[in-house]
Structure 1
Amino acid sequence: MARRFPNLDDVWPAGLGRRLGAMLYDAFLVVAIWLLTAGLHLLAVRHLVGLPAEQVGVGFLQVASLRLIMLVSAFAFFAFFWCRGGMTLGMQAWRLRVQTRDGHAISLRQAMVRYLVAWLSVAALGLGYLWVLFDAERRSWPDIASGTRVVVLPKPAR
């Protein structure tokens, strides 16, 4: 059974500004993961496969495998944090949490749908996230497609 989050009456739907702030923070983390991933891919191609330096990065298989590994590594980052506690590191900084409509941690399937639709939302020139401005419940396309919602957490009591 998925973990249920406490204090559900104290949260409210997240607006576009907070979402974009958290996305910017997370983008820096994903770029760092991608740099590490690309470096490991380079080492594997260079030393395990034994290609000379001038042939590294040449050819469909090398390019496709690197892109696939980068997409999978980014998904692993988001899915780990979303399914575990509902918050990536960027979301923690902006006091956001992704959860099911009834306040539980999201499933791996929901994380996959969120991730795939997020790419679609960005590919549509951000329209999937601008949708928050027009939706009565402030839901983005990833929220709608995965049956989740992003909420703002109250400031912690001092």
Structure 2
Amino acid sequence: MVYEGVLLFGVLMLAGFVYSTLAQQRHALQGRQGLLAFLFVVLGLYFVWFWSHGGQTVAMKAWHIRLVDAHGQPVSPKRALCRYLLSWIWFLPALVAAQLAHLTHSAGTIFGLLSAGVLAYALLALVQPRRQYWHDHLCGTQLVISRPAPRKKR
């Protein structure tokens, strides 16, 4: 997740630059909701494309992880979109709690809530019989180890 975040930093920086240029955004808070919606769509396109075309993002390739459906087959764009949307369950409870408690201006508190929420969600996988995340269970997807074929010696 951290490695994926590092890679996505560049994608989101470029997308933010494109948005701010096209929207002629002069101040960071001007058009903030539009920017957030645009970045949500960009992230969706990134994940849905990679998951439905090979089953791996760049970070997943580095870690030899592949996304497949429950039968081990490639994931359709519709199933990949379902997984993308439901994967926000990782962050949603913490973000809602921060909003309801009016803590949205405290970066440290939001980071703490997000960290606790992500940890709790990850631990919930332990109660699943196949030890998979809930969004994978709901979407009929699974992560599998996908090691490259060994190279033949000459």
TM-score, length basis structure 2: 0.74
Sequence identity (%): 25
Whether 1:92 and 2:61 are equivalent positions in the alignment is yes
1:70 corresponds in structure 2 to 39
Instruction: Give the one of 85, 91, 97 matched to 1:116.
Output: 85
Whether 1:150 and 2:143 are equivalent positions in the alignment is yes
Q: CA contact under 8 A between 1:83 and 1:106: conserved in structure 2?
A: yes
- How many aligned residue pairs are there? 127
Return the letter of the residue paired with 2:62: A
In the alignment, the residues of structure 2 paired with residue 150 and residue 27 of structure 1 have an alpha-carbon distance, to the nearest angstrom, of 18
1:57-114, Cα deviation, whole Å (9 max, x unpaired): 445xx11110011000011111111000011111111110110111211112211221
Deviation at 1:30, TM superposition (A): 1.7
1:80 corresponds in structure 2 to 49
The answer to which structure, 1 or 2, has the higher relative contact order (CA under 8 A, 6+ apart) is 1
In the alignment, the residues of structure 1 paired with residue 148 and residue 41 of structure 2 have an alpha-carbon distance, to the nearest angstrom, of 33
Unaligned runs of 5+ in 2: 94-116
Return the letter of the residue paired with 2:65: L
Whether 1:27 and 2:5 are equivalent positions in the alignment is yes
Range moving further from structure 2, 85-94 or 26-35: 26-35
1:32-60, Cα deviation, whole Å (9 max, x unpaired): 111111111121122xxxx7x4xx3445x
TM-score, length basis structure 1: 0.72
Unaligned runs of 5+ in 1: 1-22
In the alignment, the residues of structure 2 paired with residue 131 and residue 40 of structure 1 have an alpha-carbon distance, to the nearest angstrom, of 38
